[in-house]
Structure 1
Amino acid sequence: MIHAADVREWRNRDVVDSESHKIGVLEAVYVDTTTDEPALGTVRTGLPTRHRLVFVPLEDAVAGPGYLKVGYVRTLVKQAPSIGVDGELPAEQEEAIFKHYGLPYQPGTAGERQLARR
């Protein structure tokens, strides 16, 4: 698990899957708004002229020298909901990301977002 204090340190590192295949590069981290702990990362994938950001959960991530290993296979991550490199995650798309990975989604009691970009 990446701790909040380590988030900036891991940006722009290679992200590899559970089998050590490169997925892309860590672009940003979204934290859980109730705990302020890292929840999802965006991984820059694609060709240099056609990058996109895919979302991947960070709960089982392991940091190594120059990389971050996530607990999901590359195929699943590359099929995850995505945004453009200059985009922001719309609130109504949060649940789809959690559903893609089979994770529970719980918005705030007042309907507020579960995730915030850091």
Structure 2
Amino acid sequence: MYVDTTTDRPAMATVGCGLPTRYRLLFVPVADAVVGPGYVKVPCPKSLVREAPSVGTDDVLPAGQEPEIFRYCGLVYQPGMSGERQVARR
């Protein structure tokens, strides 16, 4: 889960995708998501999720990739006044 650093509210989540040898984490926005026991459903078409920017399972979102992910998800990217990151991993 990634939260907005200004509000500490959930902004994005990562979902696992791929084969065991090429497994990766894809970013999806969590606005209007439905949360249940053991699952989170996001209102995005599967095709949009499959083409989303990704990171490896042991990687962290690079700061330089944040604007691209926000653009892809249709969100406005607004770093902090001093260039702080907009999202943080929780």
TM-score range, shorter chain: over 0.9
Q: Is residue 2:37 matched to residue 1:70?
A: no
Matches within 5 A, 1:61-100: 61-100=33-72
Give secondary structure in 2 for the equivalent of 1:107. Answer: coil
TM-superposed CA distance for 1:57, in Å, is 0.5
Q: 1:39 aligns with which of 11, 29, 34?
A: 11
**Number of residue pairs matched?**
90
Distance 1:102 1:39 in 2: 12
Residue 59 (1) aligns with residue 31 (2):
yes
Q: Aligned partners of 1:91, 1:65: CA distance in 2, in Å?
A: 32
| Residue identity in the other structure for 1:92 | G
Which amino acid in 2 is paired with 1:91?
A: A
Gaps of 5+ in 2: none
Q: CA RMSD in A?
A: 1.0
d(CA) in 2 for partners of 1:65, 1:110: 39
Which residue identity is paired with 2:71?
A: K
1:104 paired residue number: 76
More relative contact order, 1 or 2 (CA 8 Å, 6+ apart): 2
Q: Percent identity?
A: 63
In the TM superposition, residue 51 of structure 1 has moved relative to its aligned partner by 0.4
Give the secondary structure class of the aligned counterpart of 1:56.
strand
Distance in 2 separating the partners of 1:69 and 1:113: 26
